[in-house]
A and B are shown apart, each in its own frame.
Chain A
């Protein structure tokens, strides 16, 4: 599985994602990551795309509001429309929402402060290429690190997400005031997932948790034809 990690000016979890996929995922035998500069118009034949965390363009406007206009985003949209796997983490989730690939919005945390903390996440569905290696109800310990992670959408959208089994993860102990404790969601076609917690930070026992690996492993098994 070749994962393209998009680098926007201000991305700062790009190296972490690269390291997790290249070094922690099955010892590097099955996963490989490469960086894709935000001005690239094509994705160069990757099997999946990851939008990493950070502060794209400084996030001085609304998080992700400028990144969505980056040339690479047109290619990401096309890739997603053709069924390609797209994972957005933290700022990546914010960009996916701004780009209209996922519904809702991410608002400032309820207490108006940045929060970095390991949280417990409950897996809400295993029916997705990002969560197939997890079982429903399984709890993962993965860190969050964000100032604007409060998931918001109107009631109808929230009901729809739930009715269509598109809530991927919920916080066991909500750190930011997200509606219905939502931490991660899927698009209708289930090939695009956004989540605020950072699975790439939970892939190495030295960092205290390896429970984020299951998400990358799920992606890996979703592209078996390309896995050597």
Chain B
């Protein structure tokens, strides 16, 4: 077949990129080779628009065992154990086919973890959808959410990994570009980590797991294009997941790894056979010969092109020690899985593909895996934003603050997500000390006395107003969440969700956000050990808010941390970090501005990173000394919402404060660096705060059955806790029309 400009364009390659292929090969590529290049050089696989900026991220630290470049990052947790973790997006497939898109997103990241030798013990999800109410496409948004949630539930529950937390936020900009970012974490012994680095000339290459079919062909290039009206025609590009098969694959891989016969192993994710073989070859500086006739196939008559680009799920590629193949085959037979020798490691550094007796592709591994184009896309413009800087001239602040608070706690962003997380098995493997619905999830590592705290955070509104500050605030919030449970943040992973990088004002958002993350991760000593970039989140020219999502993990001694909710009455309430302040310029990003005023303006909250870090240090000391009866960080919705979330049906609070600004700013401002603590011993907490040079303000006491907030003369909020809880808990079930069962 002749390669025409049309064919090149269909493969989403530019003429320049095509010329580079020709010069790397020293000849015109075959059709099959063109297909292989097109996926490996897609934005999804090559990070061609983001690579030069990702270099700015800090990647080293004393806990880091493996930074970016492998299937997942690895962190030492002491006692001879490590954890592997990473976040990955499955945004585009989840829009086209929500259930399978989300399910295979979970499957993909789980394989990234267990390919390193680590057994997955926790999953979290960061989700973004269009609003389920007050949107022209509310019904479709709800349909997408229901599909995504049941896809995650289906895959994670059956595989047997607990989904322990996450976040779910709604904005109109996600209506046609939902975000599904899945984080997974696994554990293994430090000396039993596996890498995806092929070695040993003559070693066999073994294919294990599901058979190859025609599903998901060009999935990676689909994820690198904007959506158009025709996108829905791409449904066959979405893969179908089989969590049962993945569970067997996990058990078989873990068992096969123990034989010592595995040299290298990598899962087949995007671009399946192609990426796993050329990446393993490139990392090990060796060549790989594959004979496609030996690949287990689900369909007949598949071409080399189809097999190489298939994204059939639940497959792995193993480089075994020569002569020990049978040990591996025996394990896979036991688990009822297919395994076949499909190739061999060679010394010429090339990926050579044979099909029906012919060599159909012959490409240097490095050309595919490492020599993809790298673009410094123009970004010297102001990041895209349409929101005004100044507050609207006539803001109508409703008088009834009780009603404002009711509205806020029941709003889709702030309300309880129980309706979602009860569909996930968040306990399987019996490690979940703190599950969904708290600031951070905490999962114990049974073999040690250490537990891992983890948190996901991203705020598109903040980042839209200022990508750099918004990104820093996400890092700060994750670390604050961890500190609230008493954990020390040690490492991070990030998922960068943005629009079309070929637009300078979008590229500027990306660059600003990456630099913000770099600065904050360096400051909070949480190096980035891996992650994912998802670009082209645009439909018909409309992009999403810039949405970097951070996943940060921390370590702590295994113990039950203080809960979010007040356990008793008569406890003293303190605000570690102080009341904070909110200028009107910085009130436009708040949930109050969104939910009550329906406005967006100004800048995100002001963050002082040095102060923030001192608050975390003070909090960890408070936790360590067991002084907190409850602890909850202030974030979306501010003080009044944090207080509401800490109330139970029976226990509320009486809070007296003296605002230096508009009451709404004090109640609903979202200044960072603040943690609400209930305690028997405020004096000791004050002493700790003083030593760490942070404010600590006593604001009230816990009481029965009411939440009351006011100053000396006036009560602004006075609500029954049972009513608040009802608003908080019933909102999602009402939207999705299933009455809350409790």
Contacts and interface: CB of A to CB of B under 8 A. Distances in A.
Partners in one complex: yes
Contacts of A164: none
Interface in A14-67: 15-16, 19-20, 53-55, 57-60
Contact of B244 (A13, A16, A57, A203): A57
A93 B160 CA distance: 18
Contacts of A173: 741-742
Q: Choose among A19, A53, A145 the residue with the greatest number of B CB atoms under 10 Å from its CB.
A: A145
Contacts of A115: 422-423
B715 interface: no
Contact of B430 (A9, A57, A117, A207): A207
Contacts of B336: 9
Interface size class of A (residues with CB under 8 A): 20 to 34
Contacts of A198: 427
A55 B425 CA distance: 12
Contact of A116 (B245, B424, B558, B742): B424
Interface in B140-177: 150, 153, 157-160
Interface string A86-122: 0000000000000000000000000101111100000
Binding site secondary structure of chain A: mixed
Binding site secondary structure of chain B: loop
Contacts of B159: 12
A2 to B, nearest CB: 21
Given A9-B335, A115-B422, A116-B427, A54 B160 contact: yes
A175 B738 CA distance: 12
A16 B742 contact: no
A8 B356 CA distance: 39
A116 B444 contact: no
Given A10-B158, A58-B158, A175-B741, A114 B423 contact: yes
Given A9-B335, A12-B160, A116 B425 contact: yes
Interface residues of B, number: 34
Contacts of B559: 206
A111 B738 contact: yes
Interface string B237-274: 00000111101100000000000000000000000000
B264 to A, nearest CB: 26
A129 interface: no
Nearest to B430: A16
Contact of A207 (B422, B424, B433): B433
A126 B297 CA distance: 56
A206 B450 CA distance: 13
A204 interface: yes
Nearest to A115: B422
Interface string B420-436: 01111111111011000
B243 A117 contact: no
Nearest to B442: A206
A55 B153 CA distance: 13
B335 A145 contact: no
B446 interface: yes
B359 interface: no
A166 interface: no
B302 interface: no
A25 to B, nearest CB: 13
Contacts of B428: 12-13, 16, 53, 145
A27 B8 CA distance: 66
Contacts of A150: none
B560 interface: yes
Contacts of A205: 560
Contacts of B432: 207
A149 interface: no
A206 B426 CA distance: 14
B427 A145 contact: yes
B160 A201 contact: no
B430 A200 contact: yes
Contact of A143 (B150, B157, B247, B427): B427
B603 to A, nearest CB: 40
A148 B513 CA distance: 45
A19 B446 contact: yes
Contacts of A55: 157-158, 160, 243-244, 247
A58 B242 contact: yes
B245 to A, nearest CB: 8
Contacts of B150: 113
A109 to B, nearest CB: 10
9 contacts: A9-B248, A9-B335, A10-B248, A58-B158, A58-B245, A59-B244, A114-B425, A143-B427, A147-B157
Given A9-B244, A53-B428, A116-B427, 14 more contacts: A16-B428, A16-B429, A16-B430, A54-B160, A55-B157, A60-B244, A113-B153, A113-B423, A114-B153, A115-B422, A205-B560, A206-B444, A206-B560, A207-B432
Interface of A: 9-10, 12-13, 15-16, 19-20, 53-55, 57-60, 111, 113-117, 143, 145, 147, 173, 175, 198, 200-201, 203-207
Nearest 3 pairs between A and B by C-beta?
A12-B160, A58-B244, A55-B158
